[in-house]
Structure 1
Amino acid sequence: MQGFKKLVSKEASLQVVRNLVDQQLLVAKAETDKLDRDPMVVQALDAARQQILAEAYMSRKLGTPVEPTDAEINDYFNTHPELFAKRKIYRLQEISIKAPKDKQDAIRAQLTASKTLNDFGTWLKAEKYEVKAAQGVKPAEQLPQEMLPRLAAMPDGQAMMVNTPDGVLVIVLAGSQAQPVTLEQAKPAISRLLQQQARQKAAKAELDNLKATAKIEYVGEFVDAGKEPEVAKPAAAAKPADAAAPAQPAAAAAPAADAADADAISKGVSGLN
Structure 2
Amino acid sequence: MQGLKRLYLPLLIAALIVGCGDKKDGAAKEEKPTQVAAKVNGTELTVSQVNFALQRIPNLDKDQSKAASLQVVRNLVDQEVLAQKAQSEKLDRDPTVVQALDAARRQIMAETYMSRKLGTPAEPTDAEISDYFNKHPELFTKRKIYRLQELAIKAPKDKLEAIGAQLRASKSLNEFVDWLKTEKYPAQASQVVKPAEQLPLPMVAKLSEMPDGQAMIVNTPEGMTVIVLADSQLQPVTLEQAKPAIARLLQNEARQKAAKAELDSLKAAAKIEYVGEFADAGKEATAPAEQPAATAPAAPAKDAAAPAADADAISKGVSGLK
Q: TM-score, normalised by structure 2?
A: 0.71
Instruction: Say which one has the larger Rg.
Output: 2
2:298 corresponds to: 241
SS in 1 for 2:288: coil
Q: How does 1:163-178 map to 2 (within 5 A)?
A: 163-178=219-234
1:111 corresponds to: 167
Deviation, structure 1 residue 97: 1.5
Farther off after superposition, 16-25 or 201-210: 16-25
Distance in 2, matches of 1:6 and 1:196, equals 28
Q: How does 1:109-258 map to 2 (within 5 A)?
A: 109-237=165-293, 238-243=295-300, 252=311
8 Å CA contact 2:218, 2:288 repeated in 1: no
Q: How does 1:43-122 map to 2 (within 5 A)?
A: 43-122=99-178
Amino acid at match of 1:74: S
8 Å CA contact 2:138, 2:204 repeated in 1: yes
Farther off after superposition, 27-36 or 181-190: 27-36
Q: TM-score, normalised by structure 1?
A: 0.83
Distance in 2, matches of 1:126 and 1:119, equals 11
Gaps of 5+ in 1: 256-273
Q: Which of residues 86, 91, 95 is equivalent to 1:35? A: 91
Distance in 2, matches of 1:254 and 1:227, equals 40
Amino acid at match of 2:239: L
Distance 1:199 1:8, change over 3 A: closer
Calculate percent identity across the aligned residue pairs: 71
1:261 corresponds to: none
Distance 1:26 1:129, change over 3 A: closer
The CA deviation string for residues 37-68 of structure 1, in whole angstroms up to 9 with x for no partner, is 22322222122111111111111110122111
Amino acid at match of 1:59: S
Farther off after superposition, 63-72 or 115-124: 115-124
Deviation, structure 1 residue 7: 7.0
Deviation, structure 1 residue 164: 1.2
8 Å CA contact 2:212, 2:232 repeated in 1: yes
The alignment covers a number of residue pairs equal to: 251
The CA deviation string for residues 140-169 of structure 1, in whole angstroms up to 9 with x for no partner, is 122222211111101111121111112111
When the two chains are superposed, the root-mean-square deviation of aligned CA atoms in Å is 2.7
Distance in 2, matches of 1:249 and 1:141, equals 23
More helix as a share of residues: 2
Query: Which has the bigger relative contact order, CA under 8 A and spacing at least 6?
Result: 1
